[in-house]
Chains A and B, each alone.
Chain A
Amino acid sequence: MRCAVPDSAAAMDWPRQIFEVLKAYEVRQVAHVPDAGHAALIRMCEADPAIRTVTLTTEEEGVALLTGAYLGGQRGCLLMQSSGTGNTINMLSLVKHCRIPFLAIVTMRGEWGEFNPWQVPMGLGTRPALEALGIAVHDVREPGAVKDAVEAAAKLAFNSFQQCAVTISQRVLGAKAFKD
């Protein structure tokens, strides 16, 4: 199944590449508050019977869910938008202090070519906020770099018991078009 994302061939591939990394690392619980940038990946996860896809009401629920998943013997991944990263901050103390392997993939708003000024503060704050909690952040600014970044973060999380986030720029996603 190919996901229909417009633009270049590389842009068409990257959600599938993330999904393949999640499968290779035996991720079994995928938690998300939806973002347009994650739509294709969420559909792939929902279509996979080996993955439990959990829609959240707010992103900090996902940090706690994945802590429970790991306690129960399963690996997880949290998909969210940059704005949602702000919702997770205190909850990240759970994965940080307990040394729970933690992988988050963050689609960015409020940076490259943003139209909506309300997105900008958290767009600017995503990396510093995560780093303030001791989360390793890998930034991705081109489609061809997505797979390597997600794989490196998965290795750091699951092999080295670290807490990692990959941020995917609007340069990859395309800035949201405010048009009908």
Chain B
Amino acid sequence: MATLERRAAVRAILANRADTLVVTGLGGTCWDVAAAGDSPNTFYLWGAMGAAAMTGLGIALAQPGRRVVVVTGDGELLMGLGSLATIAVQKPENLAIAVIDNELFAETGRQPTHTGAGVNLDKVAAAVGFRDAMVARDEAGLAKAVTMLRTAPGPVLAVLKVDAEKKPLVMPPRDGAYLKDRFREALLGTAAIA
């Protein structure tokens, strides 16, 4: 079945992102978002697997006027699957989740994840009460997903089925305290780090 090139897909999701706030998962999506261009409005997870969606929810509830896009992997989201139910109950209109789904734990030796074995994360999101959810496998699907992720009332989730090729490692800063402080300074001003 057709798949998207993951770096191009992530670039499309974040194109002209302006003041969109972004949270990544650990591993592949961290490198993908860094490759699309570093920003203080991105909070990269280098660990804490399963945290991305809920970190996005916390930001979305604190900043209802800002769009929050979580860009995470299938393995990362599977570790926090209950998060989808918690998010659906909170109904954050400004929260979108992009799942960059290669059906692999690529960082640890390319072992298959559940999404290649019949687990459809878009259907999970729909079943727990997300406002909309979809899966994209081609350019037309990607265009629809980008519109949903950037503009549709949330919570919404788009699964992007991507190629399994290994990409060049593009690493953002990895000191979490620095990433936290620069995110808060960009969002809240210098008083936030005083």
Query: Beyond A91-B51, A98-B177, is A58–B62 a contact (Cβ under 8 Å)?
Result: no
Tell me, yes or no, whether A21 is within 8 Å of chain B by CB.
no
A88 CB to closest chain B CB (Å) equals 11
Residues of B within 8 A of A62 (CB): 54
Residues of A within 8 A of B51 (CB): 60, 63-64, 67, 91, 94
Q: Taking CB as reference atom, which chain B residue is nearest A56? A: B86
Residues of B within 8 A of A97 (CB): 47, 176-177
Query: Beyond A63-B51, A71-B43, A71-B184, is A98–B176 a contact (Cβ under 8 Å)?
Result: yes
CB within 8 Å of A: which B26-49 residues? 43, 45, 47-49
**Among the interface residues A28, A67, A71, which one has the most CB atoms of the partner chain B within 10 A?**
A71
Question: With the chains together, A100 CA to B51 CA distance in Å?
Answer: 14
Interface contact A73-B63, CB-CB below 8 Å: yes
| Interface size, chain A (Cβ < 8 Å) | 32
Interface contact B180-A98, CB-CB below 8 Å: yes
What band does the interface of chain B fall in when counting residues whose beta carbon is under 8 Å from A? 35 or more
Interface contact A69-B180, CB-CB below 8 Å: no
Query: Beyond A91-B48, A94-B48, is A73–B90 a contact (Cβ under 8 Å)?
Result: no
Contact of A67 among B55, B86, B192 (CB under 8 A): B55
Tell me, yes or no, whether A44 is within 8 Å of chain B by CB.
no
Tell me, yes or no, whether A134 is within 8 Å of chain B by CB.
no
Interface contact B62-A68, CB-CB below 8 Å: yes
Residues of B within 8 A of A61 (CB): 54, 80, 82-83, 86
Interface contact B180-A99, CB-CB below 8 Å: yes
**Contact bitstring A80-99, B, C-beta under 8 A = 1, else 0:** 00000000001101100111
Other than A68-B62, A69-B61, give 8 A-B pairs with Cβ distance below 8 A: A29-B61, A61-B80, A68-B59, A71-B59, A72-B58, A72-B187, A73-B184, A98-B177
Give 11 A-B contacts (CB < 8 Å), ordered by A residue.
A60-B50, A61-B82, A64-B52, A65-B55, A65-B58, A68-B62, A69-B62, A72-B61, A72-B62, A99-B177, A99-B180
